[in-house]
Amino acid sequence: MVAHHDTKRATRRGFLLGAAQLAGGVGLLSIFPCSESRALPDMLQAAIKKVAGSAPLLKGKVKLGLPPMVENGNAVSVEVSVESPMTPGDHVKAIHIFNEKNPQPNVLGVRLGPHSGKARVSTRMRLVTTQQVIAIAEMSDGSFWSDAADIFVALAACQEDPG
């Protein structure tokens, strides 16, 4: 009888433990979403398609510099650098910055060339909420490379009183 009772308890404990692990796992997933597998909003996909067409977005070469967390989304420093010799035969033609959750997906699009010497651009952007930022570089050979980063925004842009 006692043994039976113990088994029952063990089962219930096991169940609770399993449930807790599952919940923990789901929680972890939502805190650290995997950039690769996350579905991008239609508007962002359309904006990327407008830039890259049907060309595949290759991983690497592009480095998106973004703070992991900001207090204020009104002016977030962002730097995109691309590995390239920047010669007439092999250079970066354009760099585009996109965001996932602002009302509009585009942030900045720049055109450069061998006269730039270095494929690196910095600016400050607005972010309405915690989200993913994507940078895409167009190379002179027609290939497209990208990088993505997640950023936590404590205080959203566009929420302040315009006065």
Q: Minimal CA–CA distance to 126: which of 53, 55, 86, 75?
A: 75
| Alpha-carbon distances, residue 92 vs 14, 53, 95 (angstroms) | 56, 17, 8
Q: How far is the CB of 106 from another protein (least distance, A)?
A: 4
132 in contact with another protein (CB under 8 A): no
Q: How far is the CB of 95 from another protein (least distance, A)?
A: 9
* Span 107-126, contacts to another protein by CB under 8 A: 107-118, 120-126
Which DSSP state fits 61?
Answer: S
Tokens 């570089």 -> residue: 137
Tokens of 36: 């690769």
* Torsion, CA 131, CA 69, CA 118, CA 136, rounded to 10: -10
x/- map, 65-94, another protein, by CB under 8 A? ---------xxx--x---------------
* Span 15-74, contacts to another protein by CB under 8 A: 74
158 in contact with another protein (CB under 8 A): yes
Site for another protein, rule CB under 8 A: 74-76, 79, 99, 102-104, 106-118, 120-127, 157-158, 161-163
